[in-house]
Structure 1
Amino acid sequence: MTITELPYGSWPTPITSELVVTASARLSELRVDGSDIVWSEGRPADAGRVQLVRRAADGTTTDLLPAGMNARTAVHEYGGAAWWVRDRVLWFSEWSDQRLYRLAPGADPVALTPEPAMPRGDRFADGDLAPDGSYLVCVRERHTGASATEVRNEIVRLAADAPSEPEVLVTGPDFVAAPRISPDGRSLAWLQWNHPSMPWDDTLLMIRDLETGEETVVAGGRGESVAEPRWQPDGSLWFISDRTDWWNIYRWVPDVDIRPVVRIDAEIGVPGWAFGSARFVVLPDGRVVFARQRAGFDGLAVGELDGSVTDLDLPFSAIGAVRATGTDTVAVVAGSPAAETGVFLVDIGTCDVGELRPPRDVGVDLSTISVPEAVSFPSVDAAGERRTAHALFYPPTNEGYRAPDGELPPLLVVIHGGPTSAAVPALNLSVQYWTSRGFAVVDVNYGGSTGYGRAYREQLLGGWGVIDVADCMAAAEWLAAHGRVDRNRLCIRGGSAGGYTTLAALARADTPFAAGASHYGVADLAALAADTHKFESRYLDRLVGPYPAARELYEERSPIHHVDRFERPLIVLQGDEDEIVPPRQSELIVDALRARRLPVAYLLFEGEQHGFRRAENIRRALDAELSFYAQVLGFELPAEEGIEPVTVENL
């Protein structure tokens, strides 16, 4: 085939912003209902709403929600576990009013919870149905005012088949999650934690006898994060704990003890940003199938009855949910470096994989897909001591094009949100959008990221704005030193917490970056501490320090107080309904750069919250950022795409 020579960044590509959003769906949660499989799909082309899809045993699929309804909860603002199902009856939280609904086959949805005094003031998530089906329990987040102090998180019980006033079962802790009823209906298990802890810091696993009210602390406490309690038919309770540095699997037997089930140097659990994680399942014979992350990549494994672990030879690199469908089969939501997320049926004996909801055919030859490489590189801590950080590196890849001899590619340093999160190594066309044009991309798992054990995660405690920035700078400089990218065209981009790291890196006199992009990023830490939602309202106590006692440190770490150090062009993208990082955060930094006559572009998207969900806005954000880099780095955009240029002030 003919190879065309063009500068990096200007390569035409089939991976346009239109392809990124066309027919794409965000697959996440998964349930097994008899012989049927049900999953959730976030659909950007349908205003970002979450539809629920049922796949029957004969392979037919059915959308369950009526037109316009959206199974999405705002509990903790990040949501998750907004629905559950049994015997073809569905319970779900409706996004528009946050009330809990019941949907029976052939019927219209019926609201089970009363209209709250404050619009959208009562929010529901993470439910469980009693063994006899008579009632359900779930998390309720009640808002009585505008501030984080006027929010109460509780576990409630309500009738499963008719409207009723929820009965409060658990109240008092700042946060609760994962209410689960025992198989005999006598006990309730749940997780709880208090400020300033986050669920990946310190949680308690609690049990209550529903007849006597007697409560037992099963596991957790200071320095231990517990997740995903699962009752088993024999009355034992399985759960994930990081008590030995890694999130592994344990089993509690009433009146006996806790015993490890799977102990490996890999991460089975994930941080509890959203409700409803499902990283392991116990098979009828007692074996456990689980997802585990090692060196940035997920895999599926089996914990055998003799205590050994068998890794399964499967193509997946990112696994979102695992559910049992039989004695030797599981359904998973998973993706790979060469394919987007789909729903699959896995035979754990043969490793045969069947497609239940195939990944979409993106229509792009694999020779245009950049495959991530796990890299580790030297960095430093706040005291200047050497340490190792990690990332996924994507080289520029497009079979039809090459750059002129001697040219090195520009680099995009990508920073995941959280900051307690991790880069996801499944095919993401939002990454391939850049690599297929001639950009190199490095997705940094800086100190504080999950997937490398608790000790690595805790490197960020007290160090946000220091460790993350050091690792992002180190990744860029290490790749440049090894001749893989152009040292003069290093760029940095991130959303939410990643937007903060972007701004913090650009607000350094020694920044190696030529430009940056902040998607709904934090500019003022003190403003964030004073004006954010309850779930994260004390998060900075550990990442930075208690406020206002640590006011000087907040000012030192806040980019808004160091606009005099900004010398690089910046594009800022923001949703106007963002409750986590309000628009004022972005406007503060934009106004400051305008006042200093520095190159800046600002796009405010109507109707968007924390993360863009509408197809038209996702497209505009991608294309505007590309136009920004083209103007700043000096390359031409492919004319055939008709990309609308973004206005860069003061350029």
Structure 2
Amino acid sequence: MALAAIAIVARCSPLSFPKSNFSPLARVLVARSSSSFKPHLRRYKAMASSLSSSGTAAKTERVTAPYGSWKSPITADVVSGASKRLDGISVDGDGRLLWLESRPSESGRSVLVKEPEKPGEEPVDITPKEFAVRTLCQEYGGGAFSISGDTLVFSNYKDQRLYKQSLHLKDSPPLPITPDYGGPSVCYADGVFDGRFGRYVTVREDRREDSLNPTTMVVAVGLGEKDIQEPKVLISGNDFYAFPRMDPKGEKIAWIEWGHPNMPWDKAELWVGYISEVGDIFKRVCVAGHDPKHVESPTEPKWSPKGELFFITDRQNGFWNLYKWIESTNEVLPLYPLNAEFARSLWVFGMNSYEVIQSDKQKILIACSYRQRGRSHLAIIDVLQSSLSLLDIPFTDIQDITSGNNCLYVEGASGVLPTSVAKVTFNDEKSEIIDFRIIWSSSPDSLKYQSYFSLPELIEFPTEVPGQNAYAYFYPPSNHVYQASQEEKPPLLLKSHGGPTSETRGVLNLSIQYWTSRGWAFVDVNYGGSTGGKRKGGWQSSMHYWRLCWWVYNLSCSSI
């Protein structure tokens, strides 16, 4: 079984590599006593033992066998066929969740599914079999559908046209609302409904003139399916656009734009446009990204029900934090400064890291997720009090959230939970959680292997850059049937994730459990420059950190 970017290292022994190959900092770490890691590992082993015992009716005597030779039911077929992929969540007019799942059993076809009306009932497929909900916009896609009330608009994979579908009329087929250009040469993504003018505002990527250098703009699409018109161009002139968002009255639109050679996490701009009586933009204001003193990358603009504009940017501390726009003075104010990431790098459309869940004279509450020190947190920010309250849920990694009726739907995972969507219900004051229930799981069958799971342990270590630390997750060998002799040390696998804006997140991954259940130790490294830590340090070579991690986990392995 192959794994990308894996270094297979010899047995965990502190004599395997000469110390001269490492930096002075690494040699300092090697000189440290391994006793400092033992309490850390003891806590970890207690967690793993608890997990293993929960999956077996009674403890049995373990078979002693060399590391790497253990037998495991987590086979290559189990790994490759285990998971469906989640590509977006939303809520309809009835307050019920819809999610977009990609199904391996249907050759990866993406299908919209609706939450059942009553617990215990089966979810309902919304997408007819001859359709697949997916956009090719900017290659990576995302934001392939949007819902307003009982009306759904989605991008169909085969022809990339937009279709409108009623969620209440079961026998009503999806109908196209964009022109047929004879093939998937024009793509749409990240759309929202404009109730004032009865239209759909969306990002469009046009490859008709140049397939290698497509033209991107924000357009308005009429929602009438009988007389299909060419979409009306609202915003154009830059290379890329994302997050077109209408205010509640349809009088203003916010959006993100950026141009070559920048990526959206390097430098971008947040704009607000004022809409005329005929639906055109007659005035524009740059909210963030225009000041040469602040090289920033704003993202995820969102209007509150009262018409206040919130967004996320990294202008002050190098971390993506939440801000509010003061329209009268064109100033921006931080809501709750924190050395943590409240957003992710904009690789795909449609990301949703926060929701305004209350906006009145008494309170403005924002439910949000942020990532700090290798773990995601769910929290509520009280804007008027400038305070943050943590909410305790089983997820250690959170992707997207969306609001429902007095609840949140949260996409997340943990070391023992595969990617899932949970319904998180609040009390009336929205001060605490009264119910947490899994609505959807990418791999519900994976839990039958939980007695074999190895729990990730976060390790933090210094780098050669003063004041900057790097992180990794350590997975010890774990199999409730086997054990190795006390004198033996396990073989170790090191993995380096791809991309300077990516991050390994310490969640259940059967491709890692494949190895650990066979007696391998596994280290998943977040080298310097990974998302989740301060990003202004930029991309840095990972090989030094691999060496550094190797010595750190040498000490860890010696305690197993």
Identify the TM-score tier after normalising by the shorter chain: 0.7 to 0.9
The match for 1:283 among 339, 354, 357 is 357
Q: Which residue of 1 aligns with 2:338?
A: 264
Deviation of the 1:477 alpha carbon: 3.8
CA RMSD of aligned residues (A): 2.2
The match for 1:398 among 469, 474, 479 is 479
The CA deviation string for residues 623-649 of structure 1, in whole angstroms up to 9 with x for no partner, is xxxxxxxxxxxxxxxxxxxxxxxxxxx
Give the letter for the 1:24 counterpart: S
Q: Secondary structure at the match of 1:189?
A: strand
Alignment of 1:85 with 2:147, yes or no, is yes
Distance (Å, rounded) in 2 between the aligned partners of 1:157 and 1:187: 14
CA pair 133-88 structure 1, distance change in 2 beyond 3 A: farther
The CA deviation string for residues 128-159 of structure 1, in whole angstroms up to 9 with x for no partner, is 001247101111111136663x2111111111
C-alpha contact 1:21 1:44 (8 A) present in aligned 2: no
Give the letter for the 1:320 counterpart: Q
CA pair 10-266 structure 1, distance change in 2 beyond 3 A: same
Give the alignment of 1:613-624 within 5 angstroms.
Answer: none
Distance (Å, rounded) in 2 between the aligned partners of 1:364 and 1:404: 27
Q: Secondary structure at the match of 1:20?
A: helix
Q: Secondary structure at the match of 2:78?
A: helix
The match for 1:32 among 43, 67, 91 is 91
C-alpha contact 2:341 2:372 (8 A) present in aligned 1: yes
The match for 2:307 among 215, 219, 235 is 235
Distance (Å, rounded) in 1 between the aligned partners of 2:142 and 2:559: 38
Q: Which residue of 2 aligns with 1:301?
A: 379
C-alpha contact 2:274 2:282 (8 A) present in aligned 1: yes
The match for 2:416 among 328, 338, 348 is 338
Deviation of the 1:206 alpha carbon: 0.5
Give the letter for the 1:160 counterpart: L
C-alpha contact 2:477 2:490 (8 A) present in aligned 1: yes
The match for 1:320 among 393, 396, 399 is 399
Q: Which residue of 2 aligns with 1:135?
A: 199
- Gapped regions of structure 2 (runs ≥ 5): 1-59
Q: Secondary structure at the match of 2:234?
A: strand
Give the alignment of 1:374-393 within 5 angstroms.
Answer: 374-380=458-464, 388-393=469-474
Q: Which residue of 1 aligns with 2:235?
A: 170
Deviation of the 1:200 alpha carbon: 0.9
The CA deviation string for residues 281-308 of structure 1, in whole angstroms up to 9 with x for no partner, is 1112421111111111111011124111
Deviation of the 1:445 alpha carbon: 1.1
CA pair 144-409 structure 1, distance change in 2 beyond 3 A: farther
Q: Which residue of 1 aligns with 2:30?
A: none
Aligned residues: 473
Q: Which has the higher contact order (CA 8 A, sep 6+)?
A: 2
Q: Secondary structure at the match of 1:78?
A: coil
Q: Which residue of 2 aligns with 1:611?
A: none
Q: Which residue of 1 aligns with 2:439?
A: 356
The match for 2:272 among 185, 207, 216 is 207
Give the letter for the 2:262 counterpart: S
CA pair 376-156 structure 1, distance change in 2 beyond 3 A: same
Q: Secondary structure at the match of 2:550?
A: helix
Q: Secondary structure at the match of 1:389?
A: strand
Deviation of the 1:423 alpha carbon: 0.8
Deviation of the 1:166 alpha carbon: 1.1
Give the alignment of 1:461-472 within 5 angstroms.
Answer: 463=540, 467-472=541-546
Give the letter for the 2:450 counterpart: L
C-alpha contact 1:413 1:472 (8 A) present in aligned 2: yes
Q: Which residue of 2 aligns with 1:442?
A: 523
Alignment of 1:9 with 2:63, yes or no, is no
Distance (Å, rounded) in 1 between the aligned partners of 2:74 and 2:502: 26
Q: Secondary structure at the match of 1:331?
A: strand
Give the letter for the 1:408 counterpart: K
Q: Which residue of 2 aligns with 1:254?
A: 327
Distance (Å, rounded) in 2 between the aligned partners of 1:476 and 1:49: 41
Q: What is the aligned-residue identity percentage?
A: 35
C-alpha contact 1:396 1:436 (8 A) present in aligned 2: yes
Q: Secondary structure at the match of 1:107?
A: coil
C-alpha contact 2:273 2:282 (8 A) present in aligned 1: yes
Deviation of the 1:365 alpha carbon: 4.9
Deviation of the 1:25 alpha carbon: 1.4
The CA deviation string for residues 179-231 of structure 1, in whole angstroms up to 9 with x for no partner, is 11111111111100011111111110011112161100011245211111101
Whichever structure has more helix as a proportion of its residues is 1
Moved more, 57-66 or 83-92: 57-66
Q: Which residue of 2 aligns with 1:72?
A: 134
Q: Secondary structure at the match of 1:390?
A: strand
Deviation of the 1:361 alpha carbon: 3.8
The CA deviation string for residues 541-570 of structure 1, in whole angstroms up to 9 with x for no partner, is xxxxxxxxxxxxxxxxxxxxxxxxxxxxxx
CA pair 397-227 structure 1, distance change in 2 beyond 3 A: same
Give me the TM-score of the superposition, normalised by structure 1. 0.69
- Gapped regions of structure 1 (runs ≥ 5): 487-651
Give me the TM-score of the superposition, normalised by structure 2. 0.80
Distance (Å, rounded) in 1 between the aligned partners of 2:116 and 2:194: 24
Q: Secondary structure at the match of 2:180?
A: coil
C-alpha contact 1:479 1:485 (8 A) present in aligned 2: no
